[in-house]
Amino acid sequence: MKVAYWPGCVSRGFTPELHGSMAQIAPMLDIELVELDRANCCGAGVIAEHNMELADTLNARTFALAQQTDTDLMMNICSTCQGSQSECQERLDANTPYRDSINETLKAETGLEYERGIVNKNFLWVLVEDIGLDELRSRVVRPLTNLKVGPFYGCYVVRPTDRLGIDDEHPRDTYMQQVIEALGGTVIDYAGAYKCCGFPIITMNQKASLTMAGTHLGDAVDAQADCLVTPCPLCHLNLDLQQPVAEKVVGRELKMPVLHLPQLVGLAFGLEPKALGMNKHVVRPTSVIDWTQSVVGSAA
């Protein structure tokens, strides 16, 4: 399949390993990525907080650019992009006079126009709904046997459920668990899977922010997870980059590796941790590297 690909700002900034690992596994899944390299930041909820119309116009521009490509759908690799873009799309699609007024600005300033009804999905949703778990399973060459993985979704990809199209037919809030299992891993059930990483208030209330991150990481440690996996690079910033500070805030050692979703898929597809950029993480994914070596060892 061919997708209009929006990697988001953070995956091209502080988490380049996310963008890199996605680029590596895409061909292994027969996904052709048509990168939207002229698209703009989704606003991460902050631009909408400042001025709703501004956020809606900027995202309408991204949608319009995606609609110019010859692709099946638009795909992102960031929970926060998904949530922010879905919020703007909800308003744009709900009300014709409003959409027309946004399009008027868009046309005047960029020559572009957004047509109602774009399909914009996080890579997680594409994996389950468009590629399918059977197909995914069939491409696994190194099942994640005995690797204990805790899912960490990120708020923006699980709430609000109606806006994100989460219902009985699309239980998108269970996809992480389904994917971990399809890759052969063991799902770790812990308290933090659907909670907030704390990133949005890191500059406003660092203590509260890192208490959130530290608590979820600690819960995962207590549940004996080998690592966490997330579809959100902003969660990754608070859970991995800030982990040394979070350890101080919650007063305990954590050392919990946090993987990006494409990295976990890549691992099961036989790629090495280093090739997937895991050496760029602040918390060394020692447990994951040990696991990789033990699998190689037992095969030899």
Partner 1 sequence: MPEYTLKIRRYSPETGDAAYWEEFKVDLEGHRSVLEGILSARATTDGSIGIRCSCRAAICGSCAVRINGKADLACHHHLDHAAAESPDGNTITVEPMGNMPIIKDLIVDMDAVHWKKIQRVTPWLLPEGPEPEREYIVPHENMVDVTQTMACIQCGACVSDCLSMEVDPLFIGPAALAKAYRFVGDPRDGQQYERLKDLAEDPHGIYDCTHCFMCIEACPKGVAPMSQIMRLRRVAGSDQKINDRNNGYRHEKAFVKNIEKYGTLHEANLLPDSYGGKFHPRAIPVLAGSLPAIVPALLRGKVTPAKALHHHKLPDQKQIRAIYDTVEGRDSRNELNLYIEGYEDEPVLKAAGEEERGPHS
* Window 166 to 225, contacts with partner 1 (CB under 8 A): 167-170, 195-196, 198, 200-201, 203-209, 211-212, 215
Choices 134-142, 162-170, 260-268, 291-299 (CB under 8 A): range interacting with partner 1: 162-170
Site string for partner 1, 74-113 (x = CB under 8 A): x--------x--x--xxx-xxxx-x--x---xx-xxx---
Report in angstroms how near the CB of residue 175 gets to partner 1 at its nearest.
11
Residue 266 carries which side chain, given as an amino acid letter?
A: G
Closest of 124, 145, 146 to residue 229, by C-alpha: 124
Q: Which is nearer to partner 1, 23 or 140 (CB)?
A: 23
Report in angstroms how near the CB of residue 75 gets to partner 1 at its nearest.
10
- Residue 221 exposure: Cα atoms within 13 Å on the Cβ side: 15
The residues pairing with 149 across neighbouring beta strands, listed in sequence order, are 187, 227
> Considering the rule CB under 8 A, would residue 57 count as an interface residue with partner 1?
yes
Pair type for strands 120-122 and 73-76 = parallel
Q: Which is nearer to partner 1, 69 or 145 (CB)?
A: 69
Report in angstroms how near the CB of residue 291 gets to partner 1 at its nearest.
20
Question: Given the structure tokens 């690079």, which residue do they identify?
Answer: 233
Burial class (CB in 10 A: 0-12, 13-18, 19+), 138: exposed
Using CB under 8 A, pick the residue from 30, 100, 107, 116 that binds partner 1: 116
- How far apart are alpha carbons 176 and 261 in whole angstroms? 9
H or E element that contains 208: helix 206-222
The residues pairing with 2 across neighbouring beta strands, listed in sequence order, are 32
Choices 131-139, 151-159, 263-271, 286-294 (CB under 8 A): range interacting with partner 1: 151-159
Using CB under 8 A, pick the residue from 146, 224, 279, 294 that binds partner 1: 279
Report in angstroms how near the CB of residue 298 gets to partner 1 at its nearest.
29
Tokens matching residue 229: 């996996």
Using CB under 8 A, pick the residue from 23, 28, 35, 45 that binds partner 1: 45
Choices 121-129, 135-143, 222-230, 258-266 (CB under 8 A): range interacting with partner 1: 121-129
Closest of 232, 199, 191, 244 to residue 215, by C-alpha: 191
- Integer Rg of the chain from CA: 19
Using CB under 8 A, pick the residue from 71, 82, 122, 292 that binds partner 1: 71
Contacts of 232 (CB under 8 A, 6+ apart): 78, 79, 80, 152, 153, 154, 156, 157, 197
Q: Which is nearer to partner 1, 115 or 222 (CB)?
A: 115
Instruction: Tell me, rounded to whole angstroms, the distance of Cα 159 from its chain centroid.
Output: 14
Q: Which is nearer to partner 1, 99 or 295 (CB)?
A: 99
Q: Which is nearer to partner 1, 235 or 268 (CB)?
A: 235
Using CB under 8 A, pick the residue from 26, 73, 140, 187 that binds partner 1: 73
Q: Which of residues 249-278 bind partner 1 (CB under 8 A)?
A: none
- How far apart are alpha carbons 201 and 208 in whole angstroms? 8
Report in angstroms how near the CB of residue 299 gets to partner 1 at its nearest.
29
Report in angstroms how near the CB of residue 28 gets to partner 1 at its nearest.
23
Find the helix packing angle between 261-268 and 175-182, rounded to 10°.
20
CB 11 within 8 Å of CB 78: yes
